[in-house]
């Protein structure tokens, strides 16, 4: 019996990679318009190199990028990049089609709803408020709470303890097999691979999940099937 559905945030409920690409493109255009001398493709490659090294939540990415180009900070260019980034981010951050409807249906079916994300609390809640999903979850666990990242068992165990359920009574929905799904499976939870949101790197066939989702609403049919047994 599945009593709780627990979701990852980025690339499971919201298209984080699309948002990040749109925001960075806008930031680059803004910085070039303010005098930055760099080719767009080169700039994007350099910025994403910083993200790869420092993590995609790194808040000083534009500062570091400008220092790498100029040797020091040009605040006019930095301001142009920050403002352009924020504007594009607001426009580009959207939930996946049917995400909100799916969560509402799960909640109305009497299941608990949880969210486990590696994002820091500020960024996680900002994204949830931006797409109107801030009031729908019974519990949100961010990386700040446990000082760990998936696949550490700590965020999963914390969620199970809060809901007071057995691991087998929860299903984890996520796009990153090695983090979301292996982490959940290792504590005994069921798993759903959000293939619709996985990047090309993570989209390879993942046979260990209990179910593979091509769209988010498919999780409802799986839960109904499991709970009818």
pLDDT at residue 110, as a whole number: 97
Same domain? For 80 and 190 the reply is: no
Pair 99, 178 in one domain: yes
Which residues, at least 6 apart from 105, have a Cβ–Cβ distance to it below 8 Å? 220
- For the chain, the residue count is 229
Could you tell me if 22 and 11 lie in one domain? Answer: no
**What is the tally of structural domains in the chain?**
2
Q: Check residue 202 and give its pLDDT.
A: 57
Domain boundary among 92, 108, 127: 92
Residue 188 Ramachandran class (φ > 0 left, ψ -120 to 50 alpha, else beta) = left
- Of 26, 57, 92, the position where a domain reaches its end is 92
Q: What is the mean pLDDT of residues 158-182?
A: 97
User: Are 113 and 221 within one domain?
Assistant: yes
- Look up the CATH number of the domain holding residue 32: 1.10.150.520
Residues 79, 153, single domain; the answer is no
Longest dimension (CA), the chain: 64
Residue for token pair 């019996």:
1
**pLDDT level of residue 70 (50, 70, 90 thresholds):** confident
Task: Give the end of a domain, one of 46, 75, 92.
Answer: 92
User: Are 60 and 141 found together in one domain?
Assistant: no
**Is there a single domain that holds both residue 28 and residue 75?**
yes
Domain enclosing residue 139, as ranges: 4-15+94-227
Prior bond to 154 cis, omega within 30? no
pLDDT tens digits for range 10-50: 999 999 999 999 999 999 999 999 999 999 999 999 999 99
Question: Which two structure tokens, joined as six digits, stand for 170?
Answer: 């929860």
* pTM listed for this prediction: 0.91
105 and 80 in one domain?
no
Q: What is the C-alpha separation between 223 and 4, in angstroms, rounded?
A: 10
Q: Do 187 and 168 reside in the same domain of the chain?
A: yes
CATH of the domain at 172: 3.40.50.1000
pLDDT confidence bin for 164, thresholds 50/70/90 = very high
pLDDT digits (tens, 9 = 90+) for 174-220: 999 999 999 999 999 999 999 999 875 555 566 689 999 999 999 99
Note the pLDDT tens digit of each residue in 71-99: 999 999 999 999 999 999 999 999 999 99
Residue 204: the pLDDT is: 59
Tokens 């945030």, located at residue:
9
Separation of alpha carbons 160 and 186, rounded Å = 13
Q: Are residues 110 and 219 in the same domain?
A: yes
Average pLDDT over residues 151-168: 98
Both 121 and 160 in one domain: the answer is yes
Nearest Cα neighbor of 229 from 167, 168, 160 is: 168
Looking at the fold, whether 118 and 215 belong to one and the same domain comes out as: yes
């Amino acid at each position: 019996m599945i009593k709780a559905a627990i979701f990852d945030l980025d690339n499971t409920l919201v298209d984080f990679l699309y948002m990040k690409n749109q925001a960075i493109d806008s930031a680059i255009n803004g910085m070039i318009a303010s005098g930055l001398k760099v080719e767009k493709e080169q700039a994007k490659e350099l910025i994403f190199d910083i993200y790869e090294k420092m993590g995609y939540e790194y808040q000083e990415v534009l500062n570091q990028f400008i220092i790498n180009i100029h040797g020091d900070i040009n605040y006019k260019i930095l301001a142009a990049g920050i403002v352009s980034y924020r504007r594009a981010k607001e426009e580009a951050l959207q939930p996946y089609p049917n995400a909100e409807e799916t969560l509402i249906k799960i909640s109305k079916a009497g299941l608990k709803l949880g969210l486990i994300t590696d994002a820091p609390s500020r960024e996680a809640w900002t994204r949830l408020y931006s797409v109107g999903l801030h009031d729908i979850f019974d519990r949100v666990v961010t990386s700040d709470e446990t000082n760990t990242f998936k696949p550490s068992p700590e965020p999963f165990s914390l969620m199970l303890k809060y809901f007071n359920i057995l691991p087998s009574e929860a299903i984890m929905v996520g796009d990153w097999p090695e983090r979301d799904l292996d982490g959940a499976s290792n504590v005994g939870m069921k798993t759903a691979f959000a293939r619709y949101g996985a990047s090309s790197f993570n989209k390879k066939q993942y046979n260990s999940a209990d179910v593979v989702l091509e769209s988010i609403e498919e999780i409802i049919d799986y839960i109904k099937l499991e709970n009818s047994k």
